[in-house]
Structure 1
Amino acid sequence: MWDLGCELGEGALWSSLDEAVWFVDIKKRQIHRFRDDERRSWQAPEQVGFVLPAADGTWIAGLQSGLSRFDPESGLFDRLVPPDDHGSSQRLNDGYVDFDGRLWFGSMNDSEAPGGGKLYRLLSDGTCRVLDAPYTIPNGPAMSPDGRTFYHTETSERVIYAFDVAADGALSNRRPFVRIARAGAFPDGPLVDAEGCLWTALFGGWGLERYSPRGELIDYIRLPVPNVTKAAFGGPDLSTLYVTTARLHMSPAARAAHPLAGGLFRLETEVPGLPLNQIRQGL
């Protein structure tokens, strides 16, 4: 859909308010918006891991140093809060808003040094709390349709974890949900569809895998590029998947052989996804 050559395309989401796909290029420090009749980009002041909508009509960006409010009209960023103990060598990586409007996000060491990352939640008082650690490359999170199971990915270990979620957002009973068996594939951004099945993008795995709520592999969709990073259900009936990809870690020869790497892709699905939630707590 858009051959823009992202170095590290990530964070795809569908906004029904403007009928557009939003996503980021972490390494090029860019935010992108795609509509069939418009393509627009903004430059961020730092590496940007995600951008998500808030209920007050603004957007929240996960920059390298912490959370910022982003205004698409002016292109300006207004810093909100850095996570506790968030050092200059770290950056925010991926984010998710649950059904109660709570923002969850991960951090990692920018060099991908082992154990440098954490899972955070933005609290109602505007501070950030660590919910799980350590991580090397955290991705997600995502949540089951009933809001009782929480999924979070440790890309470097090729595992997606499941947790039980209490009404107050507390996590417990961490256990492996899926260990990726596909050769050369690392799980990246996850998402859950209306049937409660979990999809995961596969960095180095040439596509997406879909797992049942019991962790059984039930589908694989191949794309024409090796590094698939995140997908979002969109369109009027939420049955279109928009997929971000990356060129990161590809050699010059591999980039030449796969020129569509880093582009935005679209495909149709039989099962729809879940609507995007807006941030309603902590702002």
Structure 2
Amino acid sequence: MTGITEVLQADCALGEGPIWDARRKVVWFVDIKRHRLWHFDPANGSNAISDAPDQIGWVLPASNGQLLCGLKDGLYTFSPEAAQFEKLMDVPGELPTNRLNDACTDRWGRVWFGSMDDGESDKNGRFYVFDRGTIAPAGPSGIAITNGPAVNADSSRIYFTDSVNQKIMVADLDKEKVSEARMFVDITAHFPEAFPDGPTVDSEGCLWTGLYNGSAAARFSPAGELIETTALPAKNITKLCLGGQDLRTAFVTTARQGMSEQALADSPLSGSLLTFRVKVPGFTPAEAAL
């Protein structure tokens, strides 16, 4: 791991969901509470914001050249060329007090995503899978704040995060089914004051997680052992993705919501997009199949 850099002063209230777009060679990420979809081009530093119709929890490159997005009230497509959102479908049975929060694709192009209580307290959240126009519940439920899911390179494992309870779970995955989730790591054993946020898996099958209220990102082995901790100059680390030409640049989103003036003075890069270099590259996930 090498030096940490602020590459974009985004002032995100709740920056989340960075994803490396291999087609366009840019990073997409969201500011959930300010309804913003960002993109950042590391080749020249250019960036732009598109205003979303509501809280936007995640964005994923899609197979038709558009983006698939999870907003408070359902799934949307986004055209980068026209900078326009279009409602695709509702999530059946979701409460109006919930919103969508984080997502990933598996190697078959399915999209795994979670819902959560917008007030961050009621255990109304759960996980779903979107498969070419159909949404079905899949994975744990009864969670106040879901994060992830994240899959490994061959999509044989999927990770689910229960942020409030400071736990990351893992399940076995194939094209036909997902097993019952089991404990992967209890974050309290390593970072008792921090909450696991968005997870990302690298090409060795190790899992990186952002540590909200922890000023760091942590890397765990496939066996759940803590093998690396990267201290970062922001209090609330939400998620990282691995991108760039060699997939060895970590792009890190952060949040400044709820921080006092003193806390912001102590961690002035909170809300920015940060980067650092890693030894083990990521992998290029499949685009979302629409």
TM-score range, shorter chain: over 0.9
Deviation at 1:15, TM superposition (A): 0.9
Q: Does 1:195 align with 2:204?
A: yes
Q: Structure 1 residue aligned with 2:9, among 3, 8, 11?
A: 3
Superposition map of 1:69-148 within 5 A: 69-124=77-132, 126-132=133-139, 133-148=141-156
Deviation at 1:4, TM superposition (A): 1.5
Q: Structure 1 residue aligned with 2:221, among 212, 225, 229?
A: 212
Question: Aligned to 2:40, what secondary structure does the other structure show?
Answer: strand
Question: Aligned to 1:42, what secondary structure does the other structure show?
Answer: strand
Worse-superposed segment, 114-123 or 22-31: 114-123
Worse-superposed segment, 248-257 or 59-68: 248-257
Tell me the amino acid that sits aligned with residue 108 of structure 1: M
Residue aligning to 2:184: 177
Residue aligning to 2:276: 267
Q: Structure 2 residue aligned with 1:25, among 31, 34, 38?
A: 31
Is the contact between residue 105 and residue 141 of structure 1 (CA under 8 Å) also seen in structure 2? yes
Deviation at 1:74, TM superposition (A): 2.1
TM-score normalised per structure 2: 0.93
Residue aligning to 2:235: 226
Tell me the amino acid that sits aligned with residue 220 of structure 2: Y
Query: Quick one: distance in 2 between partners of 1:173 and 1:28?
Result: 35
Residue aligning to 1:161: 169
Cα RMSD (Å): 1.1
Tell me the amino acid that sits aligned with residue 179 of structure 1: D
Is the contact between residue 142 and residue 190 of structure 1 (CA under 8 Å) also seen in structure 2? yes
Is the contact between residue 105 and residue 151 of structure 2 (CA under 8 Å) also seen in structure 1? no
Residue aligning to 2:67: 59
Deviation at 1:128, TM superposition (A): 1.1
Deviation at 1:228, TM superposition (A): 0.3
Segments ≥4 residues shifted beyond 4 Å: none
Q: Structure 2 residue aligned with 1:279, among 271, 274, 288?
A: 288
Deviation at 1:145, TM superposition (A): 2.5
CA deviation map 1:122-141 (0-9, x unaligned): 133x1211113121111111
Tell me the amino acid that sits aligned with residue 30 of structure 1: R
Worse-superposed segment, 264-273 or 179-188: 179-188
Is the contact between residue 30 and residue 48 of structure 1 (CA under 8 Å) also seen in structure 2? yes
Query: Quick one: distance in 1 between partners of 2:246 and 2:216?
Result: 23
Q: Structure 2 residue aligned with 1:186, among 191, 195, 212?
A: 195
Structure 2: 5+ residue stretches without partners: 1-6
Is the contact between residue 108 and residue 175 of structure 2 (CA under 8 Å) also seen in structure 1? no
Deviation at 1:17, TM superposition (A): 1.5
CA deviation map 1:165-191 (0-9, x unaligned): 1321x2213211001031311000001
Question: Aligned to 2:164, what secondary structure does the other structure show?
Answer: helix
Tell me the amino acid that sits aligned with residue 180 of structure 2: N
Structure 1: 5+ residue stretches without partners: none
